[in-house]
Amino acid sequence: MRSTHRSSIVLASAIIVAGLASCGTEAPTAPAAVGSAALKPSNSFITLAFSGSIQSQAWGIDPSGRMVVGAYRTEDDAVHGFVFASGAFTTIDYPGAAFSIGTGINGQGEIVGWYEDGNGIQHGYVQRHGVLATVDVPEALATRITGINASGDLVGAFDAPDGRSPGFVRRNGKYTAIEPFPGASFTVAKGISSSGDVVGYWEAGDERHGAA
C-alpha cells in the first residue's frame, strides 16, 4: 500500500471492478446459497484500454453501472487515473502529482482516489463537479481513499505517525480509524454502502482476511 507498490497498481488490461493493486486478479468463487440456484459464469466483459496505455485496471463502478474509474500506465511509466463513461475515457491527473489513481465513484459522479506528490507522499482526493480537492486524514503520513457512498462518506487507509496503517471512515467530516484485528500490519477499508456499512480487509503476517 505504500509508494513502493506503484509498480503493481495497474496489472491487468481487463475490467476489474473490485480489489486493490496488492491483491490478485483471480475471480472469487462462492458456494450456492441453500435453496437457490448455483451462480452462473458470465462472459459479458469489455476490455478497458486507454489509447496509448500499456496497462490498465478498473477499480470502481457507480451504482448504475455506467461509469467506471481506475488507472492506466503509459510507455513512459506514468500512471494516470481515469473515468470511463458513455464509451469515452477522461484522464484524472491531480495537478503536480507524480501519479494519480481513481478508486471509487458514487451515483452523483463524485470520484475518489489518491495521488503521490513530488516528495513521494500519498494524498487522498475527491473530485466533485470536475473540481479536485485533497482530503487527508489529520496528522497522517499518507492517505489513500478507496470508496465513497451516496452521502459522500469516505473510506480508505492511512499511515499513522506511530507506524500503524489502519483503515478509516469519514462521516460528516469526522474521521474514525478502523482496526478490526489488533495484530494487523495494515487494514484497508475498501467500500461503504449507502447505509454506512464498511467492508475491507486486514493483514497480519501471512494471513489476509476480509472484514465487514
Residue 4 identity: T
Residue 29 placed within a domain: no
Count, residues in the chain: 212
By three-state DSSP, how is residue 186 classified? strand
The enclosing domain of 132 has a CATH number of 2.130.10.150
Residue 113 placed within a domain: yes
Sheet holding 67-74, edge to edge: 53-61, 67-74, 79-85, 88-92
Q: pLDDT under 50 in the chain at which residues?
A: 1-37
Residue 122 placed within a domain: yes
Structural domain range at position 84: 3-22+44-211
Number of helices followed by number of strands (H, E) in the chain: 0, 15
Residue 28 placed within a domain: no
Q: Which residues contact 77 (CB under 8 A, 6 or more apart)?
A: none
Q: Give long-range contacts, CB 8 A cutoff, 24+ apart: 80-87.
A: 80/50, 81/113, 81/115, 82/50, 82/56, 83/111, 84/48, 84/58
Residue 35 placed within a domain: no
What per-residue confidence (pLDDT) applies to 38? 53
What per-residue confidence (pLDDT) applies to 107? 94
Number of domains in the chain: 1
Region of 172 on the Ramachandran plot (φ > 0 left; ψ -120 to 50 alpha; else beta): left
What per-residue confidence (pLDDT) applies to 199? 83
Q: Pairing between strand 207-211 and 198-204? A: antiparallel
Q: Pairing between strand 131-135 and 154-159? A: unpaired
Residue 37 placed within a domain: no
Question: What's this model's pTM, rounded to 2 decimal places?
Answer: 0.76
CA 74/CA 65 separation, integer angstroms: 26
Eight-state DSSP code of residue 14: B
For 129-159, the DSSP string reads TTEEEEE--TT-SEEEEEEE-TT--EEEEEE
Is 48 in contact with 56 (CB distance < 8 Å)? yes
What per-residue confidence (pLDDT) applies to 46? 79
Residue 34 placed within a domain: no
**CB-count exposure of residue 93 (10 Å: 0-12, 13-18, 19+):** middle
What per-residue confidence (pLDDT) applies to 42? 61
What per-residue confidence (pLDDT) applies to 2? 40
CA 88/CA 99 separation, integer angstroms: 21
Residue 89 identity: F
What per-residue confidence (pLDDT) applies to 36? 39
